[in-house]
């Protein structure tokens, strides 16, 4: 229980609302043109009858770490591949620091470091050889290549494996080399597409640590399925669904849009036997949803939790409470 008097808690809550409103007005609106690193304007892209992007618009700030989350097929990777000039849109344009993908793709490619979900590394190369190859490809001055390679190998914790062949590396070590490759030409923009997918927790945490070291120094786009990853790393998060941005904001702002201050998760044996009208009639209930055998009840107060649990009676299997998270935002937004 909080030691703050009720008036102080109310003032803190009011202050949070004011700050979030201010952020929404000043930051999430149109940025000043000099603050925009990437401007996506009315992107549309179809593959046959499937419309991957549908008039998608987005501005990404200089030095911002933007997360993009969405279901499989939502349009995340298509958006990234268009920004990287790998795909061409059917309609629309992307401006990267003022350069158009339509007229200046070579310049844009030199400004971006891209780590796909499965980096295509040349397995016959040693780690150092691979980085040297890409440094030369990107035109890094010859006198700077070796020091740049050493710096990056140290950054990703691969100095002791620099002269080992890539075909001897685990997926986690390949991701580290992939990050070093994306950074070899010191680009102002880094794009990560599912960088921790399929990695064990310790290795995933290490990769997130590398991303944190880059935060604020580069403009970063992070596509991820992991909500806690987006929540902990990103300045703002864009939710993509059916080829459009359907919501965007700081993790705190998005979480503030979920009904209620507490979410009660109740798993039951037989959801059809529950009288949902009784749940709706309880004063502190803002909203509820059902997913299989689990009820999610959003509350604005803890005082009625026992009364709500009583509604479920002997059907209850488990009960948990938690504060709203980005996962709740995503589920509520795309359902």
Task: Going residue by residue through the chain, which has 335 residues, state the pLDDT in tens, using 9 for 90 and above.
Answer: 344 444 444 445 554 444 454 444 344 455 677 789 999 999 999 999 999 999 999 999 999 999 999 988 899 999 999 999 999 999 999 999 999 999 999 999 999 999 998 888 998 999 999 999 999 999 999 999 999 999 999 999 999 999 999 999 999 999 999 999 999 999 999 999 999 998 889 989 999 999 999 999 999 999 998 999 999 999 999 999 999 999 999 988 887 776 557 888 899 999 899 999 999 899 888 888 898 999 988 887 778 888 889 999 989 999 988 777 788 778 777 76
Alpha-carbon distance of 260 to 284, in angstroms, equals 9
- 3-state SS assignment for residue 332: helix
Bridging pattern class, strands 50-61 and 36-47: antiparallel
Strand partners, 96: 38, 99
Strand partners, 266: 295, 319
Residue 5 has a pLDDT of 45
What pTM was computed for the model? 0.75
Strand spans (E) along the chain: 36-47, 50-61, 65-70, 91-96, 99-100, 112-115, 189-193, 219-223, 236-241, 244-249, 262-268, 285-291, 294-299, 316-322
What is the distance, to the nearest Å, from the Cα of residue 101 to the centroid of all Cα atoms in its chain? 23
Residue 154 has a pLDDT of 93
157 in Cβ contact with 173 (< 8 Å): no
135 in Cβ contact with 180 (< 8 Å): no
Residue 153 has a pLDDT of 95
Alpha-carbon distance of 177 to 131, in angstroms, equals 8
Residue 296 has a pLDDT of 87
Neighbouring CB atoms inside 10 A of 110's CB total 14
Residue 259 has a pLDDT of 59
Report the interhelical angle of 171-183 vs 201-214 (nearest 10°).
10
């Amino acid at each position: 229980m909080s030691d703050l008097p009720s008036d102080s808690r109310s003032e803190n809550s009011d202050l949070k609302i004011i700050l979030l409103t201010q952020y929404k007005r000043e930051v999430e609106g149109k940025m000043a043109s000099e603050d925009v690193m990437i401007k996506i304007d009315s992107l549309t892209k179809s593959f046959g009858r499937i419309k991957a992007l549908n008039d998608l618009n987005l501005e990404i700030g200089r030095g911002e770490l933007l997360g993009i989350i969405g279901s499989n097929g939502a349009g995340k990777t298509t958006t990234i591949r268009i920004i990287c000039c790998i795909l061409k849109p059917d309609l629309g344009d992307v401006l990267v620091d003022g350069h158009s993908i339509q007229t200046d793709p070579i310049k844009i490619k030199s400004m971006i470091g891209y780590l796909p979900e499965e980096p295509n590394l040349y397995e016959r190369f040693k780690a150092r050889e691979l980085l040297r190859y890409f440094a030369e490809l990107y035109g890094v001055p010859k006198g700077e290549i070796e020091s740049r390679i050493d710096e990056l190998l140290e950054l990703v914790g691969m100095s002791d494996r620099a002269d080992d062949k890539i075909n001897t590396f685990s997926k986690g070590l390949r991701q580290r080399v992939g990050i070093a490759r994306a950074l070899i030409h010191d680009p102002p923009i880094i794009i990560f597409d599912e960088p921790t997918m399929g990695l064990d927790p310790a290795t995933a945490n290490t990769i997130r640590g590398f991303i944190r070291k880059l935060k604020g120094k580069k403009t970063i786009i992070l596509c991820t399925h992991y909500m806690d990853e987006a929540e902990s790393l990103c300045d703002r998060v864009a939710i993509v669904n059916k080829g459009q941005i359907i919501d965007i904001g700081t993790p705190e702002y998005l979480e503030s849009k979920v009904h209620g201050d507490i979410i009660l998760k109740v798993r039951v044996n037989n959801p059809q036997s529950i009288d949902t009208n009784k749940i709706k009639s309880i004063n502190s209930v803002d909203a509820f949803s059902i997913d299989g055998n689990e009820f999610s009840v959003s509350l604005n107060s803890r005082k009625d939790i026992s009364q709500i649990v009583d509604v479920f009676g002997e059907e209850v299997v488990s009960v948990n409470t938690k504060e709203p998270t980005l996962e709740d935002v995503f589920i509520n937004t795309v359902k």
